Amino acid sequence: MQPDISVQNLSKTYGDGFQALKNVNLDIQKGEIFALLGPNGAGKTTLISIICGLVNPSSGTVTAAGHDIIREFRAARQAIGLVPQELNTDSFEKVWNTVSFSRGLFGKPPNPAHIEKVLRDLSLWDKRNNRVMSLSGGMKRRVMIAKALSHEPDILFLDEPTAGVDVELRRDMWEMVRKLRESGVTIILTTHYIEEAEEMADRIGVIRNGELILVEDKATLMSKLGRKELRLHLQQAMDELPPELKDQPIELSDDGYELIYTFDSQQEQAGVALLLRTLGELGVEYRDLQTRESSLEEIFVGLVHHD
């Protein structure tokens, strides 16, 4: 199947010489939720801005919904809705007008029923006659989403959608994103909240210094890069690791009461079994044991700061 968004050999160097993107290649399939992770200044927003037409690419090509974003910009852009990071709103406009304006701008004939549905879905209906400036930050964020959905896009970009948003609104937004996906909309979001990517994304891309260093199914990523940790609470403190265990990834805690064994979740079974057998043979007794899996956040920090 043709990808909904296809980015090929995309590079961007800004006028001041800063290279924001380095030869990025990425395919996003129809109907998936793709999360783009990366530290500040990694190039997430530049990538989105190029796809949406806000920034000129230096080289490379991008297609959206099968259309080249430059040669066939009308068809490409009509398919895209963008919710930028900053709360850029027309303060003096009324909610209804500003959302209707967006629909017109994207070349769609007026459709009050659709605008009403969007506003109701986002709990903005009661505020439709309020000026945007009178709304709270969270409500403004909803207005921006309503604007992006006003022209019924097939692809939705959410640039840091939940930055500075309270927990309740965040849950609402996740709910909304899921509903949109059910209706067939492709969603690309950037986020700092790993929790968010973990909660929602089908696939995750990690971008660092303008390079897309990894694109993976969330589940695969978790299992591939996830480290597991087995902690054994010992009956009696140990002075030092028995020599039989020294060549294994085991550490002894400072107080000597805990053995910490780390392993990749891929090869775990044999390792754990072997370890426990060895401990039995050595006569080491333990009270309790626990395992934990590293979260996406730890994986992410590992990726961004190591290698």
Partner 1 sequence: MNLYGILAIYKFEMARMWRTLMQSVASPVISTSLYFVVFGSAIGSRMGDIDGISYGAYIIPGLIMLTLLMQSISNASFGIYMPRFSGTIYEVLSAPVSYIEVVIGYVGAAATKSVILGLVILATARLFVDYSVLHPFWMISFLVLTAVTFSLFGFIIGVWADGFEKLQIVPLMIVTPLVFLGGTFYSIDMLPEIWQTITLFNPVVYLISGFRWAFYGVSDIHIGISVGMIMVFLTLCMVLIAWIFRTGYRLKP
Site of interaction with partner 1 (CB under 8 A): 14-15, 52-56, 73-78, 80, 82, 84, 86, 88-93, 97, 101-109, 147
Tell me which residue has tokens 């910490």.
260
Residues 62, 157: contact at Cβ < 8 Å? no
Instruction: Supply the Cα-derived Rg of the chain in whole angstroms.
Output: 25
Residues 20, 10: contact at Cβ < 8 Å? no
CB-CB neighbours of 285 under 10 Å:
11
Q: Which two tokens stand for residue 116?
A: 């009403």
* Closer of 98 and 294 to partner 1 (Cβ): 98
* Closer of 57 and 138 to partner 1 (Cβ): 57
Minimum CB distance to partner 1, residue 63 (Å): 15
Minimum CB distance to partner 1, residue 144 (Å): 9
* Closer of 155 and 169 to partner 1 (Cβ): 155
Q: Which amino acid is at 49?
A: S
* Closer of 14 and 219 to partner 1 (Cβ): 14
The vertex-102 CA angle with 100 and 107, nearest 5°, equals 100
* Closer of 138 and 153 to partner 1 (Cβ): 153
Minimum CB distance to partner 1, residue 184 (Å): 20
Minimum CB distance to partner 1, residue 42 (Å): 17
Minimum CB distance to partner 1, residue 293 (Å): 39
* Closer of 82 and 124 to partner 1 (Cβ): 82
Q: Which of 252, 259, 251, 255 is nearest to 233 (CA)?
A: 259
Cα distances (angstroms) measured from residue 1 to each of 5, 28, 105, 254, 274: 12, 11, 30, 55, 45
Minimum CB distance to partner 1, residue 54 (Å): 5
Please state, in angstroms and rounded to a whole number, the distance separating the CA atoms of residues 47 and 66: 18
Residues 128, 94: contact at Cβ < 8 Å? yes
